[in-house]
Amino acid sequence: MSKRRPRILITNDDGFEAPGLHALREALAPLAEITIVAPTIEKSASGHSLTLTRPLRFVELEENFYKLDDGTPTDCVFLALNKLFADNPPDLVVSGINRGANMGEDITYSGTAAAAMEAVLQGIPAVAFSQVCRSHCDDLDRLGHRLARETARKLIEKILNRGYPLPERKFLNVNIPPIDPMECKGWQITHAGRRIYGNDAQVHINPRGLEYYWIGLPRLDWHPHPHPLNDWSDFEAVRENYVSITPVRLDMTDYEELEALRGWM
């Protein structure tokens, strides 16, 4: 009896037309049966949000490729797993390849990471891939997604052959440095670093003289800080031309502070 091919659900937060989504499908198609469910429009920084105030519908673009009409990445995974895969769940959910970094506390904003969060909540292993950019992602025109495609293929092949390396409710967050594959020094297992956030809310005046605001993208700055295990942060790894792989858990309880808080109460 022939072995069943693995099944992978792919989604993203940049929309169904995003080059990174199609680069990911190209990288993983030789490894598994691919189904894509992606947002109709960009849903960057949507976080782990579900749409509860309006109906959603799948729009089939081609076989096993759907856009979810104005849905979030979390909607895409939730509905795909509970409807398209209701009787036959996929082996893996893969989110990306995001246009831009998802490192440090940006993981909490990220629709790319949120799709992986939803998958592991539903009991399906998941990986999120993001392509770090130097400045406004202009370097992607030159680099394409060569290193990201290569990394995705190798990592997902390893997972399919050797098993998912994390327990339940934990996912892998992968950030790719903006370099050619030959410049990459390898992979580093990292912790999430500490992001520096600035105020990049720009004010403008519309033709009627009313103010409006546009939230921009702050610089990718971070705080170096010591870590108990003396390991690298995701920012440090990418800076040194390594692919960063961070295990992320959904339990955000600060266990170190439980006793201190009991004493304070």
Q: Where do runs of H (alpha helix) occur along 110-145? A: 111-121, 140-143
For the chain, what's the residue count?
265
What whole-number distance in Å separates Cα of residue 173 and Cα of residue 15?
A: 19
Give, as one character, the DSSP assignment of residue 209: S
Whole-angstrom CA distances from 98 to 8, 20, 42, 147, 211 are: 17, 6, 11, 13, 31
> Can you give the pLDDT at residue 1?
44
Three-class DSSP category at 21: helix
Q: What is the full per-residue pLDDT of the chain (265 aa) written as tens digits?
A: 457 899 999 999 999 999 999 999 999 999 999 999 999 998 988 899 999 999 999 999 999 999 999 899 999 999 999 999 998 999 999 998 999 999 999 999 999 999 999 999 999 999 999 999 876 666 676 778 999 999 999 999 999 999 999 999 999 999 999 999 999 999 999 999 887 766 666 778 878 878 877 666 666 666 676 666 668 899 999 999 999 999 999 999 999 999 999 999 9
What whole-number distance in Å separates Cα of residue 170 and Cα of residue 27?
A: 23
> Can you give the pLDDT at residue 144?
83
What whole-number distance in Å separates Cα of residue 164 and Cα of residue 170?
A: 10
Let me know: does 121 contact 169? Beta carbons within 8 Å. yes
Three-class DSSP category at 249: strand
